[in-house]
Amino acid sequence: MSRRTDRLSVLFRSELADIISNELRDPRIIGMISITGVDVSPDLERATVYVSILADDAEQQKASLAGLNSAAPFLRKQVMGRVHIRRVPTFEFEADHTIEEGARMLDLMKKVATERQPPAER
């Protein structure tokens, strides 16, 4: 990535997080939404926004992701009003499961650690 796309990624991440938490009112979006990263294409046509969605089940996560993707034009318009650059990319939202995978790995490591302890220490 170039320095410019890196700066724009950080800028879009910040603006999108603010707009999603304060201005977006979609009943499908349930749970806590965290933007984990934004990849901006070099031509500024597209930006892939990676989100971590903490919801009760997988169906709510899918519904929230669908709600974000359907709100992408609204979000783009809001970002256009806040950021003064010639071209604002279209946003595509994708689920990022790294937080869930990290929590799962931590649980597995704790399980292995307790299994390795001698019986007297348990």
Tens digits of residue pLDDT in 11-69:
999 999 999 999 998 888 888 899 999 999 999 999 999 999 887 888 998 999 999 99
In the numeric block, the tokens 């790995």 are attached to 105
Rounded CA separation 75/104 (Å):
32
CB 35 within 8 A of CB 41: no
Residue 106 lies in a domain: no
Q: What is the pLDDT of residue 39?
A: 95
Question: Per the domain annotation, does 36 fall within a domain?
Answer: yes
Q: Within a domain: residue 7? A: yes
- The answer to whether residue 112 is domain-embedded is no
Q: Domain for residue 105, yes or no? A: no
**pLDDT confidence tier of residue 84, bands split at 50, 70 and 90:** confident
Rounded Cα–Cα distance for residues 117 and 57 (Å): 34
Domain harbouring 47, CATH code: 3.30.300.20
Tokens linked to 57: 């089940």
Tell me how far the alpha carbon of residue 25 is from its chain's centroid: 17
Domain membership of residue 38 as a residue range: 3-97
The verdict on residue 87 lying in a domain is: yes
Q: CB of 71 within 8 A of CB of 19? A: no
Residue 11: inside a domain: yes
pTM for this structure? 0.80
State how many domains the chain has: 1
